[in-house]
Structure 1
């Protein structure tokens, strides 16, 4: 599920918590994505890394960049206490208030897919 879809989903809940979640996600997803892009650019510039399979050992060579990347990834997944969790919390509460319980399932599924995508990236730079 695209990050922008969370905004549309929140507005579609037609309630205060959904709207807050949607508006918060406008800001949060921008901060999380720009962090990830800056980190990727930093890896490319400093270490010449342009593919994931080249990241082995990057965490030891650039620990602060790797920490920032991990925080950004955790935010995209929606893990507490990062900004993405706040967004998903408000969207979930808004969905329950609107009695649209399927939205909670969509949020869980989306978070799971994001975790499956970002986990290999967060662990790729930790070894060697």
Structure 2
């Protein structure tokens, strides 16, 4: 299986002042909903909470001893990531599943000052 051979590599892991580790994912372009959560094949609809990028990231956060996950998203990726993460929380019943790592979805423009779009490339403005 792909996950076992090549585990998901996060964009980063932040260590907070209290020692908690946060898995960081940066989304500049939105992926399809089915890339984040695979379709449920057996029943012909809905989303599979065990396959796809979000479940993969959840597993990786556990393996890396992270207490939570932060998605920093471009304005174009933000709506779909927020929607899929909210759907995932409901489907796994995050309040009851002890394996669930809280997921936070943030606007990259608010998280990283002076971040702006220039065509397909995003760059920090100012300086050289």
TM-score, normalization by structure 1: 0.29
Relative to total residues, which structure has the larger helix share, 1 or 2?
1
TM-score, normalization by structure 2: 0.29
